[in-house]
């Protein structure tokens, strides 16, 4: 883990904490697991918050070493993310790149221009931008939509990798990388959450995260 990653991830987690998008306590997840932390990126819902959030994504992507020429945002949460990350990448701090972006509709439009894809034409090498991968269904649908016309998925960029086992004992992000052969980038990981909590929260909170990771974390 580089110092640059630590800076990016800790700034991102501090932003999430300020907007109450990152919470510590006891939360029942969709999986039924009782987690000592909860992440809801939808709570970052202001202009300033989204600007800082997009900057975190752009910084993580810029340091990942992935070659790409466009972004794709899966409906629905990925749509504002792709748009704002494209804006952040246009900033000189992140390379001053004018990166086009595309997003999809949940259902095909049967009037006007029609189809399911909106925005710029897909590039040759596309990065999918999303929040957190749980089952990975939306991202796999996006992969199929990108590959159908002949484009390549250059990577998947998400906010948080929970680094915990899914149904087949792999994390959804690791499964995606292994099954599809696609590089994955997370702005922050469970290890980063643990480091953040260690600096700012009680020993009991840190201990609860350790226990959760030992029970459900990937090796």
Q: Which residues are catalytic?
A: 109, 111
Tokens 């991202």 sit on residue: 139
Contacts of 137 (CB under 8 A, 6+ apart): none
Half-sphere exposure of 80 (CA within 13 A, CB side): 13
Torsion angle in degrees (nearest 10) through CA of 178, 181, 187, 191: 20
Q: Which two tokens stand for residue 52?
A: 């800082």
* Cα–Cα distance, 172 to 165 (Å, whole number): 7
Kindly provide the b/e burial profile for residues 191-214, where b requires at least 16 CB atoms within 10 angstroms of the residue's own CB: ebbbbbbeeebeeebbebbeebbe
Which backbone phi and psi does 34 adopt, to 5 degrees? -95, 110
CB-count burial class (<10 Å; 0-12, 13-18, 19+) for 72: buried
């Amino acid at each position: 883990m580089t110092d640059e990653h630590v800076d990016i991830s800790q700034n991102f987690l501090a932003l999430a904490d300020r907007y109450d998008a990152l919470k510590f306590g006891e939360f029942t997840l969709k999986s039924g697991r009782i987690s000592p932390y909860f992440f809801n990126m939808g709570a970052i819902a202001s202009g300033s918050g989204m600007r800082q959030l997009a900057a975190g994504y752009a910084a993580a992507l810029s340091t990942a070493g992935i070659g790409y020429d466009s972004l794709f945002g899966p409906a629905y949460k990925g749509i504002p993310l792709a748009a704002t990350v494209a804006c952040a990448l246009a900033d000189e701090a992140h390379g001053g790149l004018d990166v086009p972006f595309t997003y999809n509709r949940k259902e095909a439009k049967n009037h006007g221009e029609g189809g399911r894809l909106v925005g710029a034409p897909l590039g040759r090498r596309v990065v999918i931008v999303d929040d957190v991968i749980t089952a990975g269904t939306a991202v796999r649908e996006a992969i199929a939509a990108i590959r159908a016309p002949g484009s390549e998925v250059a990577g998947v960029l998400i906010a948080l990798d929970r680094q915990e086992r899914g149904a087949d004992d792999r994390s959804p992000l690791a499964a995606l990388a292994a099954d599809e052969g696609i590089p994955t980038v997370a702005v922050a990981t469970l290890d980063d959450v643990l480091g953040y909590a260690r600096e700012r929260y009680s020993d009991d909170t840190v201990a609860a995260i350790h226990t959760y990771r030992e029970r459900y974390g990937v090796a």
